[in-house]
Amino acid sequence: MGKSGDVAYIAMEFLTGQSLREILDSGVVLPSKRSRDIAAQVADGLAYAHQNGIVHRDIKPPNIMVLS
């Protein structure tokens, strides 16, 4: 993250996978264990962010990446 003049920015790594929205829209039914794993990982990531003073404010399936 950084700032250029009056503009703040965040740069993130490129991730290989699909958004949760793409997976859900494809018609694939995720096994309940996989759904729980994804939810737990999202919660862990949010907890880590919050511990470091970051609030995401836009958690939704298109913003959740499921890696290959």
Active site residues: 58
d(CA 54, CA 50): 5
Answer yes or no: are the C-beta atoms of 20 and 42 closer than 8 Å. no
Count how many Cα atoms sit within 13 Å of the Cα of residue 33 in the half-sphere of its side chain: 0
